[in-house]
Amino acid sequence: MPRAARAARGSTSGMPPTPSADKISAEEFRTNLILYDCYVKPISDQKGAKPSEKTLSELDRYRYGDAIDQFGGDTPKKQMGLEDVKMLVSWKLKHGKFRPTLMKLVSSNDSSSVEDIIQEAVELYRKSSNISGALKILTKLRGIGPATASLLLAVLDPDRVIFFADEAYYWLCCGGKQADIKYNAKEYEDLSARAHELCKRLNVRAVDVEKVAYVMMRRKETEDINDAEKSEPSTAASKTREDLNPRATTNNTNGHQAGKRKARSDEDEKAEGDKISPPPPARRSKRIQRGQDN
């Protein structure tokens, strides 16, 4: 078991199963919101950081503290620039999936262009509260797709805008199950709508929904690990019986497989052969293109 999962396990021992987004109560929401730091710290300790980098815990304090304080509200203290965007992207890469080319793409943006585009998106959003329109403007920047664009906007309005995080999408849109995410505007609209419903039902902020979703999916990982460990004793017992009577096991296995061989059709054998010796993958040409993140 990963060290982060072991550390978090103590925080959730004795707790009821992970509640779904449409069933979670206000009390359950508050309880799991408090647990957020208990999950982030062990992950931060495990990942560590290079001498010139900030740890996940430090970046987390920036993302949920300093950044919102500086850029949020109707009268922000400063305008967001390229270095601020890079700091938020650093948090995104440590907090979720690491994408090795993302920071290089983001860093290639011109500083003045970044400020102009962000200012354009901010002005549109503050005039019309049009999340989709603001995201469309932000994705003009290199390396900024709908997910990272939602992060920038979530810092500006933490009450209404949720960051397009994997955990948030899994919990709110997939019933707590992991699924393929295309990271497109349509998926974010679905996530935003479901987050808005939960915010309205429980009278909570979008930024807190984001944190609780993170806890929910980490808790589910721990529950899955616990379930797997519970099944290990029966597997070990079965293995012990085989060790004690290997001849009986061999005879039973040989007889069973002989019967299976007789029942197999030619098509089954061919399919099995295909599995054993798959054809070599087709060669793909390399393309150089302007990249977008998720």
Residue 153 to residues 67, 150, 168: CA-CA distances in angstroms? Answer: 11, 5, 16
Picking from 135, 133, 137, the residue whose alpha carbon sits closest to that of residue 117 is 137
Q: What is the mean pLDDT of residues 146-152?
A: 98
Confidence of residue 261 (pLDDT cuts 50, 70, 90): very low
User: For residues 31 and 6, what is the distance between their CA atoms, to the nearest angstrom?
Assistant: 20
Largest pairwise CA distance in the chain: 79
- Where in the chain are the domains? 25-223
Give residue 286's pLDDT: 45
The b-or-e profile of 251-272 (16+ CB within 10 A means b, else e) is: eeeeeeeeeeeeeeeeeeeeee
227 against 34, higher pLDDT: 34
Is residue 160 a contact partner of residue 126, using CB atoms and an 8 Å limit? no
- Runs of H (alpha helix) within 203-277: 206-244, 246-263, 266-276
Task: Write out pLDDT tens, residues 40-57.
Answer: 998 888 887 888 889 999
Our CA dihedral for 76, 79, 80, 84, rounded to 10 degrees, sits at -90
**DSSP, residue by residue, 50-76:** -TTS--HHHHHHIIIIIHHHHH-SSS-
262 against 197, higher pLDDT: 197
Q: How far apart are the first and last CA of the chain?
A: 28
